[in-house]
Structure 1
Amino acid sequence: MNSIFHGDFPSDIHEKYTILENEILGKGSFGTVRKCSIKKNTNTKIQTNYTNNTFYFALKTIQKSKLPDPTQLRREVDILLHVDHPHIIKLYDVYEDEINIYLVSELCSGGELYDRVVEKTQSKEGHFTEFTAARIIKNILSAIQYCHDEKHIVHRDLKPENFLLTDKTDDAQVKVIDFGLSRYSNTANSRMHSEVGTIYYVAPEVLFGDYTAKADIWSIGVVTYVLLCGFPPFNAGSESLTYNVLTEGANVKFPSPAWDRITPSAINFIKRLLDKDPERRPSAKQALEDEWLSSEHVHPSSKKKWHGTFLHKDSPEALAVPTEHNVIHVEKTKQDTFHRMLHAVFRKKK
């Protein structure tokens, strides 16, 4: 099969790495994610997950024949090889042979942030504390400020599925992943017109085909909302109805009882990020300076516990607002761990 990267990368991954065939971390439409280790005699300065004197990595093996369009993969690889930030996934090596592409990245054993939110909503506590949520959002905003201000990159698909956690603890660091829909912009005010993203997290102006890097800030506002209650602010039961909500108003609400326990500073922070006017919406740098994030100790205003509910992330009612008499629990199954392209791109309605 023709080369996707035109011979820019070596072909023999086995020269440097040992693939742990039985250590499968995930399976997707285009291939498999396994654990791999660096060979002992390899000269490397890579800092990775270090266990029992072995360097471990996450290895994505992507079957080229199954890629519908290699453009997003090329874009993602290009971006990841040119960024260096503690809260962006680190891509160490790329290999390409006749059959597969191999991406060697740092190993994040904590899984997706999405899965952690599901666990929290089904736990005894029922939710993230504001302190933990604020720490997670700081990690994300730090990465996005770096992307926007230093690298002029707009992510365009920020959502819980696109953040990995370094470990299983509540103190785990967050890593931004999946830059397949990202693009470079000349300035913070450079305008973009492609309508891409995931409907429940996309900014209204994206649906009108005229937006800037501020669209990422809106998505972070939605993620913050989800962390604190377990469901998204804009979900009308289907993608088409949610589209209408976003284009006809997108007024964020904080329904009881889920939001009774949340501090006013947290709610004000979300309102700032979900301002319908992108000009009034803060930049990543300005958001990092917000009162809620700068507080050393964030305490809930109520001792009430809210047990929210997540639905399967690909269901039409995903993350729907549960009512007192209608709480649905659906087991989440593992989805594609590479590029969620097919459901991520949508067209503007006439």
Structure 2
Amino acid sequence: SASETPGKAAVGEENIVKLQHVQDTREFFIEVLEYLPGGNLYQYLEQKEMLDEYTACRVSLRILKALDHLHARRLLHRDVRLQQFILAEPGDPESCKLADLWCLASLPRKKNFMVEEGRPCDLLTAAPEVVKQGEFSAKSDVWAAGCVIFELLHGHPPFGGTGKALVQRICCGEPEFSELGTATGGLSDNAIDLLRWMLQREPGQRPSVHECLKHAWFEGYNVEKPSKQVWQVEKLIRHVKLWGKPPHSRRNLPASNLLASKRGIVTPGFCTYMGATSVDIDFEPCQMCQGVLEVIGKSEEQQSLGSRVWYWVTKCVLSLWGREENPKQIQLKVCVKPGSPWVELGSCTLDDSTALEASIKIDKPIRYVRISLRGNLGGHFGIAVRKVAFYGYQVRQIPIALHLENLKFLRGSRLHTHAQDIHPKEVNARVHKSLQSSLRVGRRIEGTGAKYRVYEDICSGSPHITTAAETPRLKFPQGVVLIGAVLGLRYVSEVPSKESAPPRLRIQIVKEVNAGGDHERRMKKTLLFATEDLTPPSWKANEVLGNGYVDYPVMFSTGIRANGDDRLHLEILFQNFSGTAHVPADLGLSFFYVPELQSPSTSEDEGLWAGCIQSVQSATVESVSLGMRKLLSIWFPFHFPRSFPCDFLLLRFYILQPYILVSLT
């Protein structure tokens, strides 16, 4: 019959499924195709989100070759979409073949288009002329193929939404390139150029499939992936989630709408509850990546913390509705762990109710983010935001684990008991909750089977103005370049008088450089962190057990540029100018470097993590008991699921008159 002709004419192309049999009955049109067990491209992308540019190029080549085979025979497919491409091999998008030949149609003689106004179509890939007047042509197939290729590269269609809103965007809007432009997303100029060409609104301005196949993109990317390299390409971070308790919102406008939605859907965004004009929303841009870091001998929780992919976040972009509900002031704050103080990194003020976007520069490795929205521009519904997006690139974390018995101190060391004989029934009343997990089991309580609890520290000698501790050479992964570091600090400081200068803490990188002889060397020091004066809390140092410690705002160092192959040491100096101040301190220190990846969109690592956890070697302190070495702190990931940027605690320093105390936590 006439219906069989187009399908049979499509047979013979390797990128089109084989048509085994066709039968047209009074009730059904039946086509029998070859069996392909791999599912379709849409199902594959549901799991992978999007393809890297090299794979997407080869898949696009198969798509266009299949259409070129049809168009050369004056056949139109009329229903090109992801679901129509079936995988011959499970998990292999490059084995896809064009299917559903029942929708093929032959072009009329002496005409390059055909009109079927009532024909159903998928709006997500329908060309403007198809939506308006049902006009199908080879150029409408090109538009549909452009939508498919766009989704392979971006993870979402060029036009989102449903119903009338989607029709409006197709006929009048522009493709949503903003998330992955060449400067901000890693796509090549040729890829963007081809997509813009295929998605021209006027059919006459679009290329033919044959012209698409000659585009320069297929010459540069129709190859295997290149070897891994360092990528510092600013890209949309897709692995972002809400953190903590979400704020109250209007019905059907929750904060979860602010994050990337499913393909083809545009969410209405977030709006505050009952017209509120003040709200805080917390985010966590972080990704789990198995095998990135192995924390030997630790719990599953610690393993998961070590396997997180960090992001060097360059900026945060808020998409607005352009209404009077636009926020008047936007603040972006960060912290290193739950409960630590928030540090403001940037802000912006809006005075235009028609503004559609607000951006805040960050350029730091961050983990927990709080966006504070204050005031609006006169709207009655409170504050409304359409979307929040973070941009940046992947980095890897190197937590520095300093073992007390292996550090080089200027003074000796001996055991000191900070508090002992705490009855288990008195723990909640006497010990601050942040310290309770650091209590060690003591001697047995007479007449019972229970044991006392003990809280111990380590003393490193008598007080002096500056206490210095130096590590041996740090062993970083070979070939990496350190680009930044993060420091978390907890302390308590007691300043005896107004004349006394408050203490400070300084951490610096010491680089050894050979100066000519085997035994001569020149020390090049780079300052990493230097705290300002440590403000004393309202309690004394000897009251820490019941009150806990003070959190110092997180500190960032973003201009290190040190090579992992260099001979690097860390120097930790406490500047106790008055000689009478009390400064207990917890240090959480992590370095960051950019890993070698195959592309900006992959999360693969080159396996340089072996040995990246620093094990500092030096003389052993004999008086440090095995129990003390196992003393851990609640403030770090051994006991806290979200913590300082280092994945396990480094060192706790105490400067207490008349001692300098250091406790391993």
- Give me the whole-angstrom Cα distance separating, in 1, the residues matched to 2:7 and 2:81: 18
- Alpha carbons of structure 1 residues 283 and 325: separation in structure 2 relative to 1, 3 Å: closer
* Preserved CA contact (<8 Å) 1:80 1:90: no
- Alpha carbons of structure 1 residues 179 and 99: separation in structure 2 relative to 1, 3 Å: closer
1:179 Cα deviation from its structure 2 partner: 3.0
Is 1:90–2:18 an aligned residue pair? yes
- Alpha carbons of structure 1 residues 267 and 96: separation in structure 2 relative to 1, 3 Å: closer
- Alpha carbons of structure 1 residues 98 and 233: separation in structure 2 relative to 1, 3 Å: closer
Q: What is the alpha-carbon root mean square deviation over aligned residues?
A: 3.5
Q: 2:52 aligns with which of 129, 135, 138?
A: 129
Q: 1:113 aligns with which of 30, 41, 48?
A: 41
1:189 Cα deviation from its structure 2 partner: 5.5
1:191 Cα deviation from its structure 2 partner: 2.1
- Alpha carbons of structure 1 residues 205 and 188: separation in structure 2 relative to 1, 3 Å: farther
Identity of aligned residues (%): 24
1:303 Cα deviation from its structure 2 partner: 7.2
Q: Secondary structure at the residue paired with 2:185?
A: coil
Question: Which residues in structure 2 correspond to 1:203-282 (within 5 Å)?
Answer: 203-209=127-133, 210-235=135-160, 237-247=161-171, 249-256=172-179, 260-282=185-207
Q: 1:176 aligns with which of 84, 98, 101?
A: 98
1:187 Cα deviation from its structure 2 partner: 6.5
2:112 corresponds in structure 1 to 190
Q: Secondary structure at the residue paired with 1:205?
A: helix
- Alpha carbons of structure 1 residues 304 and 168: separation in structure 2 relative to 1, 3 Å: farther
1:61 corresponds in structure 2 to none
Q: Secondary structure at the residue paired with 1:224?
A: helix
Q: 1:302 aligns with which of 230, 233, 237?
A: 233
* Preserved CA contact (<8 Å) 1:152 1:187: no
* Preserved CA contact (<8 Å) 1:110 1:172: no
CA deviations over 1:67-125 (Å, ceiling 9, x no partner): xxxxxxx84x543223221111111134689998764321212111101111112xxxx
* Preserved CA contact (<8 Å) 2:155 2:263: no
- Give me the whole-angstrom Cα distance separating, in 1, the residues matched to 2:237 and 2:99: 29
In terms of fraction of residues, the more helix-rich structure is: 1
Is 1:139–2:62 an aligned residue pair? yes
Q: Secondary structure at the residue paired with 2:101?
A: coil
- Give me the whole-angstrom Cα distance separating, in 2, the residues matched to 1:301 and 1:97: 60
Q: Secondary structure at the residue paired with 2:20?
A: strand
- Alpha carbons of structure 1 residues 184 and 103: separation in structure 2 relative to 1, 3 Å: closer
1:220 Cα deviation from its structure 2 partner: 0.7
1:50 corresponds in structure 2 to none
Q: Secondary structure at the residue paired with 2:151?
A: helix
* Preserved CA contact (<8 Å) 1:188 1:213: no
From the CA coordinates, give the structure whose radius of gyration is larger.
2
* Preserved CA contact (<8 Å) 1:188 1:212: no
Of 128-137 and 100-109, more deviation after overlay is shown by 100-109
- Give me the whole-angstrom Cα distance separating, in 2, the residues matched to 1:243 and 1:102: 32
CA deviations over 1:128-166 (Å, ceiling 9, x no partner): 0111111111101101111011x2111111000111111
1:310 Cα deviation from its structure 2 partner: 6.8
- Give me the whole-angstrom Cα distance separating, in 1, the residues matched to 2:113 and 2:28: 36
Structure 2: 5+ residue stretches without partners: 240-259, 270-318, 320-385, 391-665
* Preserved CA contact (<8 Å) 2:87 2:93: no
State the one-letter code of the partner of 2:92: D
Is 1:148–2:71 an aligned residue pair? yes
CA deviations over 1:31-62 (Å, ceiling 9, x no partner): xxxxxxxxxxxxxxxxxxxxxxxxxxxxxxxx
* Preserved CA contact (<8 Å) 1:132 1:170: no
For normalisation by structure 1, the TM-score amounts to 0.60
CA deviations over 1:4-51 (Å, ceiling 9, x no partner): x8xxxxxxxxxxxxxxxxxxxxxxxxxxxxxxxxxxxxxxxxxxxxxx
- Alpha carbons of structure 1 residues 169 and 305: separation in structure 2 relative to 1, 3 Å: farther
- Give me the whole-angstrom Cα distance separating, in 2, the residues matched to 1:106 and 1:171: 17
Q: Secondary structure at the residue paired with 2:21?
A: strand
* Preserved CA contact (<8 Å) 1:118 1:310: no
Q: Secondary structure at the residue paired with 1:293?
A: helix
1:252 Cα deviation from its structure 2 partner: 1.8
* Preserved CA contact (<8 Å) 1:152 1:188: no
The structure whose RCO (Cα within 8 Å, separation 6+) is larger is 1
- Give me the whole-angstrom Cα distance separating, in 2, the residues matched to 1:245 and 1:96: 38
- Give me the whole-angstrom Cα distance separating, in 1, the residues matched to 2:64 and 2:21: 26
* Preserved CA contact (<8 Å) 2:127 2:143: yes
* Preserved CA contact (<8 Å) 2:180 2:187: no
1:79 corresponds in structure 2 to 6
- Alpha carbons of structure 1 residues 132 and 188: separation in structure 2 relative to 1, 3 Å: farther
Counting matched residue pairs gives: 242
For normalisation by structure 2, the TM-score amounts to 0.33
State the one-letter code of the partner of 1:173: S
- Alpha carbons of structure 1 residues 179 and 188: separation in structure 2 relative to 1, 3 Å: farther
- Give me the whole-angstrom Cα distance separating, in 2, the residues matched to 1:187 and 1:130: 39
State the one-letter code of the partner of 1:222: C
